[in-house]
């Protein structure tokens, strides 16, 4: 809450990503690109009109060591002025600005600022940096466009632009040369338009004419005549949103809501607001889109890192002080969005507890009104851009790489329970050590802010902590929370003597919920009573007097009343008749009685006796009044001295002198005077008895009233205890409901995974056996049941009790060796029927990388084994046949290299197996087989004919002399499909003449 009664004081210190920037008179379009982006940017400028009234800023990844010709290239593309950016250059509409190389760019106050590029930066975030500054500086006049490029720069910046009310574009992946940058941007779900460059230009031109990007929010829209008041239209839109989402936005800050509504109108090219209301009524999908638009938030891991360091340094030690090991740490992250804040607190807490001796259980409740955000948070999977600022050590320790990004590790996810909760209506959690609610209150109106802060005070245990964002405060609840860190907005709960009323019903809409007034035993009046009494007195005169209630208890003294009232001895009392002087008491009682009975002002003259001055005439006026239209009647009692006639100074009463008494006695008849005095004494005596009897009765009534008040206080105390118990039960029910929702979700997920796993195992025709760490049966496939003689009831039994069909004696010892050493094992085994299997033993790893047993997989290799045996036997037979042939014989492969030769060949041609096998046939015996006729046979003749018979060759060998040979050749195809040549040589004994 703000330190002053201002409703908007929570926004007095804007957050850097959520601030409302000064209104721009023209939009600024930031275009980010990298590899392949120049072509896309050229296409965009070619189709973009030159009079859109927009400033175009191109931020491209450039080689830091090379001069850039980008400005010259773009100048030839558009007729708009193109400038290379210099530090301090002010942007202007209908101009193009190009970033120079080796710099980073920001914008502030409409001026472009250049900064040296940090070479040590792990990821190039030049585009992100400019987009974020553009969102802060231009607000809803910021437009972000991501074109072709690698990596993911620009993604976070586009989220910041959309959160500030700007408009976002991404080039369609089909039209991009390099799709990484557009793909990562589209994957966030924060892109308004996914289009090719030419269509992006057309859409920009259309948007440039919409009032949303041309005028301040307060003036949008103004072109169409107003048919229905804006307030009524907004109320109708809120009603549609409440029907669709069960969230009442009527007490949110109207400026933020109007900005979101006008933004949707701009995207749809709709104006005025009444037309958009009609569009919502006709299109339920747009109601959902507007709902998500309003709930958009910018969050990240370890946002404001110094605040998390303060938690580890100051808050966590205080939370653990004097805590038993069994008492859990309870933390509530209200408005958790997509979960980064909750996971950041969990990681910091785990880091801190890792250095402590005692580690109590941790319960982190993270809630948000958006179902979509809760689903993302539960999965805990984030794009690489989301974890870009997470340190390498934390990334390795608390995250796991998954397809498309990183997932928070399971131990961290199990600490956080995510559930949907509406802060406005749903009960809070209780007995909390820490509440983190950052960048939520800034969207609420003053009434909601007060309501939520009272809820937080109730939910925290004594000494608990509250963490807000830098743009939020507790304001007028400074008596409930002690400020611990002004820079990080961390507070500690203070105990309160007043009971805070928690209104968990529907919000009142337009009316602010008032704070409960404190109750006191003396029933002090509220300020309205004083104002009403002042008005009554001022309308007549301003003499001394008092304000009393129906019981004549004085509520207020007005003026100097010492001449008429005095403190009575005995028990302290503010009763008017008790304090009135004796000479005034009778007349005062009579006047009050008449005013109470008649309900009209009563005036009465009386005498007040002063010791120095004697009797003094006084006028008493009793004026009844009622502060409100109904309720208790109060009285203003005024005392005024009676002045002499004709405005002279009031004469002092004189003591009766003897002469005066004689004259007074002598004037009337003494007998009549004596009789009157006697009657007066009798009347006074009777009246005094009546008064004493009434006082006695009043005393009895007062005692009875005190008893009733005591009983009433006891009943009120009992009622407060019951109310407290009711609120605690509501909070406990909410917590149980949240945990039940989480358990239901996890149970459904487990059931789905179990079904998938069961179907997978059932459809795999491979024997698979899963064992626990103690070698008891965990799970098996149907084919494994026959091999291991298993039935469903065997799950949980030790493997040693099972008579399996494998012919392996040390199976259990091999499994234990795999579990202990983590080395995988594989071997070929047979079953009792002689069937062959490839047995593979692997350790069973859990999701948190813990070894909890082993997995046995048996691959049926019986056919392969038997085919291999047949091939071996065939090979042995062929080799025996080759050796039995009496003629020289060669086996040659397709490359004409010798695969095998028989003994007769080695004996006839006097060569050895070492120089024969594997050698080219023409190289045998020092090239003596390089015979032209043989080469012709093998290279030319044989490929055309699969068989050659009695091909005669005459040749003189160096070692054995001239030979005449008949060569027979035949092509063969082996079992493996490789062609071979079988070559036999028969020596012709009768050589031709001339040899």
Which positions are annotated as active-site residues?
34, 61, 153
Rounded alpha-carbon distances, angstroms, from residue 16 to 3, 156, 928: 21, 14, 90
Sheet holding 768-771, edge to edge: 777-780, 768-771, 851-860, 836-845, 825-830
**Counting Cβ atoms within 10 Å, is residue 60 exposed (0-12), middle (13-18) or buried (19+)?**
buried
Sign of the torsion formed by the C-alpha atoms of 812, 814, 820 and 826:
negative
Using the 8-state DSSP alphabet, how is residue 937 labeled? Answer: I
| 412: enclosing H helix or E strand | helix 410-413
Contacts 24+ apart (CB under 8 A), 964-972: 964/988, 964/991, 964/992, 964/995, 967/934, 967/937, 969/937, 969/938, 969/942, 970/946, 971/942, 971/946, 971/947
> Distance between CA atoms of 132 and 142, rounded to whole angstroms?
10
Residues 826, 841 contacting (CB under 8 angstroms) = yes
CA gap 909, 887 in Å, rounded: 12
Phi/psi for 276 (5° steps) reads -65, -35
Instruction: Please give the C-alpha separations between residue 367 and each of 121, 249, 300, 606, 734, in angstroms, as whole numbers.
Output: 34, 18, 16, 72, 11
Q: Residue with structure tokens 């090719």?
A: 196
Helix 37-47 / helix 197-207 crossing angle, nearest 10 deg = 40
Q: Which of 306, 272, 649 shows the shortest CA–CA distance to 470? A: 306
Centre a 10 Å sphere on the Cβ of residue 519 and count the other Cβ atoms it contains: 10
Whether the link from the prior residue into 272 is cis, omega within 30° of 0, is yes
Task: Mark out the alpha helices in 834-923 (DSSP H runs).
Answer: 862-884, 903-909
Long-range CB contacts (within 8 A, 24+) of 588-596: 588/620, 588/637, 589/691, 591/620, 591/622, 592/552, 592/622, 592/635, 592/637, 594/622, 595/622, 595/623, 595/624, 595/635, 596/550, 596/624, 596/633, 596/635
For 969-983, give the DSSP string: EEEEE-TTS-EEEEE
d(CA 295, CA 338): 11
Query: Mapped to the 3 state alphabet, what secondary structure does 601-661 carry?
Result: CEEEEEEEEECCCEEEEEEEEEEEECCCCCCCCEEEEEEEECCCHHHCCCCCCCCCCHHHH
């Amino acid at each position: 809450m703000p330190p002053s009664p201002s409703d908007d004081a929570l926004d007095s210190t804007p957050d850097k990503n959520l601030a409302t920037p000064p209104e721009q008179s023209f939009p600024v379009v930031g275009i980010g690109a990298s590899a392949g982006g120049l072509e896309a940017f050229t296409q965009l400028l070619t189709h973009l009109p030159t009079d859109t009234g927009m400033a175009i800023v191109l931020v491209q990844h450039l080689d830091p060591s090379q001069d850039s010709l980008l400005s010259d290239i773009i100048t030839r593309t558009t007729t708009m002025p193109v400038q290379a950016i210099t530090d301090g250059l002010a942007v202007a509409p209908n101009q193009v600005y190009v970033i120079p190389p080796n710099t980073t760019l920001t914008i502030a106050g409409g001026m472009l600022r250049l900064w040296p590029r940090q070479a040590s930066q792990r990821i190039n975030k030049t585009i992100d940096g400019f987009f974020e500054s553009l969102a802060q500086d231009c607000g809803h006049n910021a437009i972000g466009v991501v074109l072709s490029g690698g990596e993911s720069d620009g993604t976070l910046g586009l989220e910041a632009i959309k959160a500030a009310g700007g408009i976002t574009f991404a080039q369609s992946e089909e039209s991009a040369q390099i799709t990484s940058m557009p793909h990562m941007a589209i994957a966030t779900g924060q892109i308004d338009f996914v289009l090719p460059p030419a269509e992006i230009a057309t859409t920009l031109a259309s948007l440039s004419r919409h009032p949303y990007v041309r005028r301040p929010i307060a003036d949008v829209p103004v072109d169409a005549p107003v048919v229905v008041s804006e307030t009524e239209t907004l109320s109708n839109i809120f009603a549609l949103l409440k029907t669709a989402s069960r969230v009442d936005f009527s007490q949110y800050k109207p400026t933020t809501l109007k900005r979101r509504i006008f933004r949707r109108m701009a995207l749809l090219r709709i104006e005025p607001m009444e037309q958009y209301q009609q569009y919502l009524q006709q299109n339920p999908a747009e109601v959902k889109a507007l709902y998500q638009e309003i709930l958009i938030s910018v969050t990240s891991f370890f946002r404001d890192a110094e605040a998390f360091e303060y938690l580890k340094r100051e808050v966590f030690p205080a939370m653990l002080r004097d805590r038993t090991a069994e008492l859990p740490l309870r933390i509530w992250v209200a408005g958790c969005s997509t979960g980064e804040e909750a996971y950041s607190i969990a990681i910091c807490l785990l880091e801190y507890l890792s250095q402590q001796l005692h580690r109590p259980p941790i319960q982190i409740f993270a809630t948000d009104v958006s179902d979509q955000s809760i689903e993302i948070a539960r999965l805990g999977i984030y794009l690489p851009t989301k974890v870009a600022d997470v340190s390498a050590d934390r990334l390795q320790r608390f995250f796991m790489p998954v397809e498309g990004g990183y997932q928070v590790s399971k131990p961290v996810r199990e600490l956080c329970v995510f559930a949907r909760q509406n802060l406005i209506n749903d009960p809070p959690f209780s007995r909390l050590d820490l509440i983190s609610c950052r960048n939520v209150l800034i969207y609420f109106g003053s009434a909601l802010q007060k309501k939520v802060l009272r809820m937080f005070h109730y939910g925290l245990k004594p000494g608990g902590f509250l963490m807000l964002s830098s743009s939020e405060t507790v304001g007028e609840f400074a008596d409930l929370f002690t400020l611990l860190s002004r820079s990080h907005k961390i507070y500690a709960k203070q105990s309160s003597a007043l009971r805070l009323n928690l209104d968990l019903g529907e919000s009142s809409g337009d009316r602010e919920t008032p704070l409960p007034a404190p109750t006191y035993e003396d029933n002090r009046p509220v300020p309205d009573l004083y104002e009403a009494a002042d008005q009554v007195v001022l309308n007549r005169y301003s003499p001394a007097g008092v304000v009393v209630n129906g019981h004549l208890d004085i509520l207020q003294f007005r003026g100097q009343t010492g001449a008429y009232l005095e403190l009575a001895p005995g028990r302290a009392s503010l009763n008017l008749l008790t304090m009135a002087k004796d000479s005034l008491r009778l007349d005062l009682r009579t006047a009050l009685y008449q005013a109470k009975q008649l309900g009209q002002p009563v005036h009465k003259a009386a005498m007040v006796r002063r010791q120095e001055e004697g009797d003094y005439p006084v006028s008493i006026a009793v004026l009844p009044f009622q502060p409100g239209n109904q309720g208790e009647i109060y009285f203003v009692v005024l005392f005024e001295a009676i002045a002499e006639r004709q405005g002279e100074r009031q004469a002092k009463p004189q003591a009766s002198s003897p002469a005066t008494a004689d004259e007074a006695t002598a004037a009337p008849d003494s007998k009549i005077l004596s009789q009157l005095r006697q009657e007066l004494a009798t009347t006074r005596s009777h009246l005094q008895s009546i008064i004493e009897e009434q006082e006695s009765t009043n005393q009895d009534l007062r005692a009875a009233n005190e008893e009733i008040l005591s009983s009433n206080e006891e009943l009120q105390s009992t009622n407060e205890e019951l109310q407290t118990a009711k609120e605690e039960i509501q909070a406990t029910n909410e917590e149980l409901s949240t945990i039940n929702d989480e358990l239901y979700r996890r149970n459904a997920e487990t059931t789905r995974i179990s079904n998938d796993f069961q179907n997978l195992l059932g459809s795999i025709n491979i024997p698979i056996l899963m064992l626990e760490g103690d070698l008891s049966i965990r799970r098996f496939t149907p084919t494994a049941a026959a091999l291991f003689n298993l039935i469903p009831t065997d799950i949980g039994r030790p493997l040693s009790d099972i008579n399996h069909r494998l012919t392996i004696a040390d199976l259990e010892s091999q499994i234990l060796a795999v579990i202990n050493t983590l080395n995988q094992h594989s071997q070929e085994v047979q079953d009792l029927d002689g069937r062959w299997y490839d047995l593979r033993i692997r350790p069973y790893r859990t999701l948190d990388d813990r070894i909890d047993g082993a997995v046995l997989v048996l691959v049926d290799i019986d056919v392969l084994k038997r085919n291999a045996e047949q091939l071996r036997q065939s090979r042995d037979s062929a080799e025996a046949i080759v050796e039995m042939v009496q003629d020289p014989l060669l086996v040659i492969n397709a490359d004409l290299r010798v695969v095998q030769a028989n003994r007769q060949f080695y004996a006839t041609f006097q060569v050895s197996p070492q120089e024969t096998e594997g050698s080219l046939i023409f190289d045998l015996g020092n090239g003596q087989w390089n015979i032209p006729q043989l080469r012709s046979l093998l290279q030319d003749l044989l490929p055309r004919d699969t068989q050659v018979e009695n091909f005669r060759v005459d040749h003189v060998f160096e070692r054995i002399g001239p030979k005449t040979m008949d060569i027979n050749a035949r092509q063969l195809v082996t079992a493996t499909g490789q062609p071979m040549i079988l070559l036999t040589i028969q020596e012709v004994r009768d050589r031709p003449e001339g040899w």
